[in-house]
Structure 1
Amino acid sequence: METGIEHIINIGRHQKINWTLLSLIGAGVLIIGAIFGSVATANGWINGSGGRTVPIYVSSDSEVNQQITLSGGFSAIAKAVTPTVVTITVKSRARQSQMPSFLDPFRDFFDRPDQQPDEDAPRRRVVPRTPPQGPGPLRPSGVGSGVIVSQDGYILTNNHVVDGADKVEVELSDRRQFTAKVIGVDAPSDVAVIKIEASNLPSLVIGDSEKVQVGDIVLAVGNPLGIGQTVTMGIISAKSRRSPAGDNTTYEDFLQTDAAINRGNSGGALVNLRGEMIGIPSQILSQTGGNIGIGFAIPSRMARTVMDQLISNGKVRRGKLGVIVDPVDPEIARQFGYKGVDGAFVQDVEKGQPADLAGVRAGDIITEFQGVPIKERDQLRNLASSTQPGTSVKFKIWREGSERELTAKLAEVTLARAPDQTGENESASGSNLLSGVRVDNITPDLAQRLNLASSIRGVIVMEVDPETAAASALRRGDVIESINRVNVTNIAEFNSAMQKAGKKEVLLRVHRGGVSRYIVIQTQE
């Protein structure tokens, strides 16, 4: 019996030629050729002498020719890029990952030799075998990729590739091997910089990921599954993607690509047709651990910003505006009279932080930051975080039908998380007109159990009927602070506000986990 690979290799040895099929294929090639010929002629790709060239414009220091043939174009790019991509082997005595666990279907694809897919539970995160306790000998614990970005040996890779390593070894494309020093790591962006002692190395030009467009052709270069350096081709499928596993401690603005990438590609290069790196492969979307055409790369602009700080300071400092923001959904926009869904909706403002001092209020919509129009929430967060703390910035907000410009001096991001607060077995009393929801007044006992600050005013959600619309937005332990922008401090005020609402939907301000947010609830008649 042949294995899958043997079957692929041997299939040509005992297959008959199907002339009818070949004829159909030939006709198809002629049709494709005719279509390409008309497009190429219209764009001036076919010259009068019959020569065929496709213009691929490259940076001046690239080895790729200015005019290259279509058949040789990708090979020329690969030839220029592959010497700059290295294989990274990590050795550890006890591996401890500090990266957030990428819950399925998202997985990192750092190729760990002791990880095997769990076929009985394809949606479960693959867990490495527990390493022996104590110091023990160094042993290989993973294989990933990296990109040489300077002739003197600086290499860009993923944090999760070198995280927890006791020894990092680098193999160049010419088979030379080096022991690398970890210069700095940044878990929130999953970027790391290592260095080898060498000179006159080939280095990859870092392009501008902001200029990348959906549909652009890209090549992915890395060492998938430890089989050796591999080049695959695809396109940019989407921009500004975020992992569902991400949280408020991660910074993500992924480029999505269908170029085939697998475990081991982590830290490699995603390059454009100019031979420039525009991304670092970091995650894939998969329920099996293998490639299904949905890969994610850290954009080069973010990677370069982090890299420069790691090389200069050994750590990354990020600016902070001090607002809790959400996307502008249609329901919120309608409640506030805002047209469109662009911008970042301010759910809460941190007391004493730059936004608070600048005059930002909950319910404002931030529409511009440092001259850049804000399309969605994460864009604002990434722009602020890529700006140094202490920088004076200008931004625009929309409030009550008009736009105004504010100025703030950014604070510095800290990585503290607010706890997720829930109640235990509280008794319930009172009633309200929000179908399926029961609330109670805040008592000293409930406030202590929920760890509520003394400044929090409202009513506590005691029970939510799972069969009602409210169940999708409210849960036990939430504090409802206002209804349709009218503050409520007890059950009587809550019921009165609900009676005055008189709508099929209500706007609530809800406190949960140390943060207050606006949400829209559909009432039932």
Structure 2
Amino acid sequence: MLLAAVASLLLLQPVPAAAPRTVTPRGDLAADEKATIDLFRNARDSVVFISTSRRVADVWTRNVYSVPKGSGSGLVWDEAGHVITNYHVIEGASGAQVQLADGRQFNATLVGASPQHDLAVLKIGGVGFKAPGRVPIGTSANLQVGQNIFAIGNPFGLDWTLTKGIVSALDRSLPSENGPDIRHLIQTDAAINPGNSGGPLLDSAGRLIGINTAIYSPSGASAGISFAVPVDTVMRVVPQLIANGRYAQPVLGVESDEELNERLKRLSGINGVFVLGINPGSSAQRAGLVPATRSMRGVVPGDVITALNGKPVSRFGDLLARLDDFQAGETVELTVQRNGTTRKLSLALDSAD
């Protein structure tokens, strides 16, 4: 009873009003903060949100529905309304919708794609379309490890998100099972997550230096290792996609197979690309390259390409990717080995067309 009485008396005591806290003036933002804010404001309007859909058929009613497939980011490329993004953002989709930073939404059409570079071009707008401001173009040729970079995109659908990091490494390659390796990639530690794909990578001057394309992460979320297609590759590929709808890669006219190539490398001890076939009329045929043949005892090796312009090649995807550094009509030097003899050949590259 005594405790209850004391508690009642305490509750009846007036509670003093809480004194308001004084706001401490912040002062001016740091110079680097101001620069980052300006960079984002200047680039934001050029970044778009891409949502894709695919058509599915109801086997019972036979009605066709459009269902969401995924989302990603993109960048307005020119005044005509071309938008660049990653190929894997639109791969397998039957439709795409593009939303600009000002809220305008458009149904997009696919202009062209290059899976080997993980790049695609969409088209939005129509008569009277007014494109937002464009990000200035930089170069990736003189990037240095350690310099600041900035990424803008839509991670997990969280639109127009800015992340910051540094260039962690240069000239990285990602192998591809069905085609050329994706080469010359920029590695960064900026927080890149699903949805950032296709968005711009900028330098501290606000110039485009790459298109964010992939992350390395066992969990699927940012683990501090991400990759971007360098802008020098974008500048070589995108104009062809806009003009022709496809990218014409320079080729030698040789055929190979990654799995069989690895087996032949282990059996022979030769580290190179075993020529398994030659396209009729190709530069490889004109140069006299000899493909492997099959016999009762198995595969009999012919020519093995061990280097291109003095740089070693050991996988077919690696060879195709190195060829991508050239243009059709240019001459390259192959180092070729056959029956223990090494020789060098000069070949003029053909076009994949």
1:180 equivalent to 2:111? Answer no
1:407 pairs, out of 330, 346, 349, with 346
Counterparts of 2:42 and 2:342, CA distance in 1: 49
What SS is found at the alignment partner of 1:178?
strand
Structure 1 residue 158: deviation in Å? 1.2
1:224, 1:262 within 8 Å by CA — same for their partners in 2? yes
* Structure 2 partner of 1:393: 331
CA RMSD between the two structures:
3.4
CA offsets, 1:25-81, max 9 Å, x none? xxxxxxxxxxxxxxxxxxxxxxxxxxxxxxxxxxxxxxxxxxx93332222222222
* Amino acid across the alignment from 2:97: E
Structure 1 residue 394: deviation in Å? 3.2
* Structure 1 partner of 2:85: 157
Distance 1:307 1:402, change over 3 A: same
2:286 pairs, out of 357, 375, 397, with 357
1:265 equivalent to 2:206? Answer no
* Structure 2 partner of 1:106: none
What SS is found at the alignment partner of 2:174?
coil
1:374 pairs, out of 311, 315, 322, with 311
Structure 1 residue 313: deviation in Å? 0.8
Distance 1:321 1:151, change over 3 A: same
* Amino acid across the alignment from 1:358: A
Distance 1:166 1:366, change over 3 A: closer
2:118 pairs, out of 190, 195, 215, with 190
List aligned pairs for 1:382-461, cutoff 5 A: 382-385=321-324, 387-389=326-328, 391-395=329-333, 397=335, 406-413=345-352
Distance 1:355 1:89, change over 3 A: same
* Structure 1 partner of 2:295: none
Structure 1 residue 358: deviation in Å? 2.5
Structure 1 residue 228: deviation in Å? 1.4
Counterparts of 2:207 and 2:305, CA distance in 1: 40
Structure 1 residue 250: deviation in Å? 4.1
Counterparts of 1:145 and 1:364, CA distance in 2: 39
1:396, 1:403 within 8 Å by CA — same for their partners in 2? no
1:142 equivalent to 2:58? Answer no
* Structure 1 partner of 2:136: 205
Structure 1 residue 355: deviation in Å? 3.4
* Amino acid across the alignment from 2:162: V
Counterparts of 1:235 and 1:376, CA distance in 2: 30
Moved more, 204-213 or 348-357: 348-357
What SS is found at the alignment partner of 1:259?
coil
Counterparts of 1:213 and 1:375, CA distance in 2: 25
2:94 pairs, out of 156, 159, 166, with 166
Counterparts of 1:399 and 1:141, CA distance in 2: 48
1:349, 1:356 within 8 Å by CA — same for their partners in 2? no
Question: How many pairs were matched up?
Answer: 293
* Structure 2 partner of 1:236: 167
1:347 pairs, out of 274, 277, 280, with 274
Structure 1 residue 235: deviation in Å? 1.7
Counterparts of 1:230 and 1:151, CA distance in 2: 24
CA offsets, 1:355-378, max 9 Å, x none? 35335673553252xxxx636566
* Structure 2 partner of 1:291: 222
CA offsets, 1:216-267, max 9 Å, x none? 32111100000111111112222333335x2242440122211001111111
Distance 1:162 1:284, change over 3 A: same
* Structure 2 partner of 1:76: 38
Distance 1:144 1:310, change over 3 A: same
Counterparts of 2:200 and 2:192, CA distance in 1: 11
User: Sequence identity of aligned pairs in percent?
Assistant: 32
1:279 equivalent to 2:218? Answer no
TM-score, length basis structure 2: 0.71
Counterparts of 1:412 and 1:77, CA distance in 2: 40
1:188, 1:251 within 8 Å by CA — same for their partners in 2? yes
* Structure 1 partner of 2:50: 88
Counterparts of 1:346 and 1:240, CA distance in 2: 21
Counterparts of 1:82 and 1:288, CA distance in 2: 29
Which fold has the larger relative contact order, with Cα–Cα distance below 8 Å and residues 6 or more apart in sequence? 2
* Amino acid across the alignment from 2:54: S
* Structure 2 partner of 1:220: 151
Structure 1 residue 137: deviation in Å? 3.1
CA offsets, 1:94-140, max 9 Å, x none? 3xxxxxxxxxxxxxxxxxxxxxxxxxxxxxxxxxxxx8555433233
What SS is found at the alignment partner of 1:93?
strand
Q: Answer 1 or 2: which has greater strand percent.
A: 2
What SS is found at the alignment partner of 2:321?
helix
Distance 1:132 1:224, change over 3 A: farther
Counterparts of 1:181 and 1:284, CA distance in 2: 27
Structure 1 residue 192: deviation in Å? 0.9
What SS is found at the alignment partner of 1:228?
coil
What SS is found at the alignment partner of 1:408?
strand
Distance 1:200 1:348, change over 3 A: closer
Structure 1 residue 163: deviation in Å? 2.6
Counterparts of 2:333 and 2:257, CA distance in 1: 14
Counterparts of 1:359 and 1:376, CA distance in 2: 20
